[in-house]
Structures are given as C-alpha cells and as structure tokens.
Structure 1
C-alpha cells in the first residue's frame, strides 16, 4: 500500500513540475515577445537574462531536493529540501551578481519583470492541477 501511495505521489509531483514548466515557458515567451515588441533586441535580451536567472536556480532546486523520487525518509527529505533551498538562494545571488557585472541589462525593467513573472508562475500552477477526488 505504501509503495502505491509513493508512486502516486511521485506521479503527482511530475505532473505538477511538467505543468509548471509549460506555464513558465509560456510566461517567458510572452515576456520576451512583449520586450521585443516594445524595446526591440535590447529589451528582449534583458528579459531573456531575467528568465535565465529565474529558471536556473529553480531547476537546481528540483534536481537537488529529490522532488521526483520517493526513496528518502521524511527527516532526510526535510534536510534535502533545506540544502536545496539554500543552494537555490546562493545560485540566485551569484547569477544576479554575474549578470550585473558581466552583462549589465540594457533595460532593467524588462530584466526584473521577466524574473518576477517567471518566479511567481508557481502561484498559478495549482489552478492547472487536476482536482483531487474525495476517494483518494
């Protein structure tokens, strides 16, 4: 019974992450398209940089947290989540510093708008998830 529940939980997480990725890709394309239309190439590059700064730490977190596996105990899982979140925060800081030192965005408004839009997309994803039945 426990293994069946674990498989169902992993499948639910995979579905969530797949839908989150699709939603983030849609938001990213919309923001880059808007930036391209309003500020041409420089705005689109700034928006793209914001998207990269948002997505790389998120991908790092998903990979390091073990969100797609069910092999760890709850106490180990909590420790992994904590380490993954700290790594995500550190990577975000490093990416912000790298972008602003190495490739300063020509349009910071598009950079931060794209970053915030992609990061906040996970708030919308629960609406994309199938509703749980009362029998589950």
Structure 2
C-alpha cells in the first residue's frame, strides 16, 4: 500500500473512533438523565445533563485542536498540537466547573459528578464499539 492510502485509512480509523465515542458519550448522558428523572426528579436529570456537558465540551475542544479529522503532520507538530490541546482541555474543564458550580449549582451534586465521571470514562468502551476492520 502507498503512503497516502495508509494515511487515509488511519484518518478514517480516527474519524470512526471519534464519531462512535461521541455517540456513546451522548447515549451515556441521555440514559443517565432519563434514569435520574425517573428515579428522582427533573432537577436531578438537569444535574446529569450539566455533568455530561462539563465532560463533553472539553473533549470536543480537544478533538478540534488536535485536528483529528485531518491527515497527520510531522511528529514534532503533532506533539505541539497534543500539548496545546490537552492544556486547553484542562483549562476549559476547570473553567466549566467553576462556572457551573458558582452560577448554576446542580440540584444534586452526586448525579452531577457521577455523570461527569461516566462520560469521561466512556472512552474505555469505545474500542469495543469499533468495527473489526478498523481496530488496531
């Protein structure tokens, strides 16, 4: 296989991973919100939604800054992108926590933090969601 074909396959694999991870995280957030609403009340469902949003937005920023959907550049450029994207993701996470906890405190902090952790840890399940031909 030529280098361009291999780069294209790697780009497709990354795209499939990110798309499936995003879908899985949104499903975790939706199921968590529905369970909280059914078990407790609307306020708890809102807490789950806020926690999921605080987890999801920094990851979307990371994907955007890393240019996941583009073909790879040089190793040094990718390393610089990685550090900048991770620093931005961390800063955005801290800022979102500060904004949410100071302006719109969740009605149920347990649901808020549980949803945050569940959405962040969803990436562990994403490899199982990949089609066999795109794994490795």
Alignment correspondent of 1:77: 78
Q: State the alpha-carbon separation in 1 of the partners of residues 69 and 17 from structure 2.
A: 10
Separation of aligned partners in 1, 2:118 and 2:58? 15
What is the aligned partner in structure 2 of residue 107 from structure 1? 108
Structure 2 counterpart of 1:5? 6
Q: Distance in 1 between the 2:50 and 2:29 partners?
A: 11
After TM superposition, give the deviation of residue 10 of structure 1 in Å.
0.5
Question: Normalising to structure 1: TM-score of the pair?
Answer: 0.94
**Counterpart Cα distance in 2 of 1:41 and 1:130:** 36
Greater than 3 Å deviation, 4+ residue runs: none
Q: CA RMSD in A?
A: 1.4
Is the CA contact 2:11–2:69 (under 8 Å) kept in the aligned structure 1? yes
Residue segments in structure 2 that go unaligned for 5+ positions in a row = none
Unmatched segments (≥5 aa) in structure 1: none
Query: May I ask how many residue pairs the two structures share in their alignment?
Result: 134
Counterpart of 2:106 in 1: which secondary structure? coil
TM, length-normalised to structure 2: 0.94
Matching residue of 1:45: 46
Corresponding position of 1:22: 23
CA contact (8 A) 2:59 2:89 kept: yes
